[in-house]
Chain A
Amino acid sequence: MALRKYDIKSYRGFGAMTILCLVVLYAPLIVVTIYSFNASKSITVWEGLSLRWYVDVFSGPESAKFKLAAWNSFVIAIIASTIATAIATLAATAIVRGGKFRLRTASIGLISLPLMVPEIVTAVATLIFFNYIGFDRGLLTIVLAHIAFCIPFAYLPIAARMQGIEDSYEQAAMDLYATKRQVFTRILLPLMAPGIVSGYLLSFIVSLDDFIITNFVKGAGVETLPTAIFGAVKQGIKPNIMAISTMLLAVSIIMVTISYIVSKSDNTK
């Protein structure tokens, strides 16, 4: 190794910046998590550890509202991410295993459209569209909007995974007279499982977390967890909101971690 002055792999201050980066990323989340365990009624004063706000979320005066919102959020996320993942899996098969064809680039473009258009524009567009076709806004409109928005998030890990799988297994199966359908269900899908799980979880989180699109396409009185939280926060941050946020935060982190482990575990093979 040359003199430190010439060591191009370490720059003074870069390590410190990395620490600063992680502090910035995690500090707000950690602070809210800590304060969600605050015994005090006021969010400014710390009065010791307590679970009272978690109890409040489940049995306090606003619990019915939040439980319904959470239920809506989970039902929407399960339906939207299941459909989006199924659609994305089929599309990825066509795009990765369908050879070269004219609409290939257009298909990729169409799938990534929801990522390129600013979310507020997607939200407004969907509102206008449902209004134009005279579709009553409610849970169904949220589900439909989420399906479209979740497709690219499911597609990315699935397509990436499929590209990593050589088609020799499929070729071998076909040499042994397996039909295309059998090859798809017995060879390709099982090999794809980690990518599909990862895509499913990511689109689930995206649906669970979405605020802007939901806020535009939901019907009056229909709330999901984020829109209920937004409504409550407008009147000021309260301790029970911090407890709900901490739980939602935990759900997201757990799901991302599972998705990470699943996709990792298989890459090493």
Chain B
Amino acid sequence: MAAQAESGGGATTDTYKEARTWLLMPAWLVLLVLSLAPVSMILIYSFLTKEFRGGVIWEFSLAAYDQFFFDRGLFGDEAPQIEWTYITIFWRSIWQAGAATILSLIIGFPTAYFIATRAEKVRPIWVFLVTIPYWVNLLIRTVSMKFLLRDQGPLNDFLLSTGLIDNPIHIVNTNFAVQLGLFYSYLPFMVLPIYASVERYNFALSEAAADLYATKWVTLRRILLPAIKPGVIAGCILVFVPSLGSFLAPDLLGGAKNFMIGSLIEEQFKGNAGNWPFGAAASMILLTMVLIILLVFARRQANAEKREG
């Protein structure tokens, strides 16, 4: 999505040059107050002291970050050791989001290629079919997935009736269920940017390779893939980034054992933990990681465009 928003650039005219301050004012006001200011406040809150039941005391403290990374014993007086609990949760989030990304790449890449090589007239219809599920409520989609995968759910019923399995496969409340849920939530994000770059791809290059007796798979790997790499990376980011901070899939499909960072944050604000600075610190760690990924990508993209002239 970020990449798409940037494409608001390009050629511009200046019919409304004088009025632009007034035209932009409402957007700036609303977004500064309701988007930038709140996000900046997380940074501040992560360095404050926690109040017993939610809220903060305005005293500078590193306690939240300390709690995230170090274990100082029950009374806080032991030599600091690395606290693995939260690092494990963070690592699990990365792993789950990564698995979902790979899964969507495996399904999404052939789909995008297939659609982009259809007749020009029918392509928008295929794209539309892939996009529709994205606009269906994420909560409903996650619940539907849970319903489908249950031990006595339609998928197991189907597999049992075909005789493929003798006992229901237990999927819900496993890591795999979360991966499936994330994959399902963001699959359209993988297909769309890859589709866009394959559509722009000059197939004469592949034809030239084929004329020189490169097999199809060699052509795909050595000619096509390098050319559409930005689209593939964009797709991976668009799946990985929202998966990383996801709350619904781990909560509904993973159960208590398969906590991800989104659930950790949620618990600090809505659940019983009630440690706002700690929740803010966890949010900052997540946000920093996301912004680094987006920045690296944006820079690479800008460099690539510069090279193309």
A interface, CB within 8 angstroms of B: 2, 5-11, 13-15, 17-18, 20-22, 24-29, 31-32, 35, 43-44, 86-88, 90-101, 103, 105, 107-108, 110-122, 124-129, 131-132, 144-145, 147-148, 151-152, 155-156, 159-160, 163, 167, 170-171, 174, 180, 183-184, 202, 205, 208-209, 211-212, 215-216, 226, 229-230, 233, 237, 241-242, 245, 248-249, 252-253, 255-257, 260, 264
Q: Could you say which of B129, B153, B206, B244 contacts A8, with CB atoms under 8 Å apart? A: B206
| Nearest CB of chain B from residue A227's CB, rounded to whole Å | 9
B interface, CB within 8 angstroms of A: 1-2, 4-24, 26-28, 30-32, 34-39, 41-42, 45, 55, 107-108, 110-111, 113-115, 117, 124, 126, 128-133, 135-141, 143-148, 152-154, 184, 187-188, 191, 203, 206-207, 209-211, 213, 215-217, 219-220, 224, 241-242, 244-248, 252, 262, 265-266, 269-270, 276, 279-280, 283, 286-287, 290-291, 294
**Which residues of the partner chain A approach B269 to less than 8 Å between Cβ atoms?**
124, 127, 216
Q: Could you say which of B38, B110, B144, B241 contacts A128, with CB atoms under 8 Å apart? A: B38
Task: Give the nearest-CB partner of B152 in chain A.
Answer: A44
A6 and B16 in contact (CB under 8 A), knowing A116-B291, A121-B283, A248-B140? no
- Give the dominant DSSP class at B's interface: helix
| Nearest CB of chain A from residue B186's CB, rounded to whole Å | 11
Q: Do the beta carbons of A29 and B16 come within 8 Å of each other?
A: no
Q: Do the beta carbons of A8 and B216 come within 8 Å of each other?
A: yes
**Which residues of the partner chain A approach B28 to less than 8 Å between Cβ atoms?**
107, 110
A7-B210, A24-B187 are known; give 14 further A-B pairs, CB within 8 A: A8-B206, A11-B113, A21-B191, A31-B144, A94-B19, A117-B39, A118-B241, A118-B286, A119-B245, A120-B266, A128-B41, A156-B5, A180-B19, A252-B135
Rounded to whole angstroms, the CA-CA distance of A119 and B290 in the bound complex is 12
**Which residues of the partner chain A approach B111 to less than 8 Å between Cβ atoms?**
14, 17-18, 21
Q: Do the beta carbons of B220 and A91 come within 8 Å of each other?
A: no
A211 and B19 in contact (CB under 8 A), knowing A17-B114, A129-B41? no
